[in-house]
Amino acid sequence: MKKNPVEQARLFPVVRPVMEKVGSIVRRHIARRNADTIYLVGGTCAYPGMDAVVAEYTGIKTLVPGNPLFITPLGIAMHN
């Protein structure tokens, strides 16, 4: 259901609390940093609205790159 665009809007109220938790964790970890942009990576951030929720919680422009689910495995492969 989470991959079906028709269902995503219906499921958003259910998954939003998890997105809010991510936003609060990010906000706490960057509190003493001077960040002007946040880049979300990993498959979960591809869910529509994730970037907006994190931006709302942090007050920082938040972007999701194309194909975000491939960023994590590529990074792991580059460091092994």
**Model confidence over 15-73: pLDDT tens digits?**
999 999 999 999 999 999 999 999 998 888 889 999 999 999 999 999 998 888 888 78
41 and 68 in contact (C-beta within 8 Å)? yes
Give the span between the Cα atoms of 45 and 18, in whole angstroms: 11
Q: Does the pTM exceed 0.85?
A: no
Cα angle 9, 25, 8; round to 5: 10
Residue 79 has pLDDT above 90, yes or no: no
Give the span between the Cα atoms of 77 and 14, in whole angstroms: 33
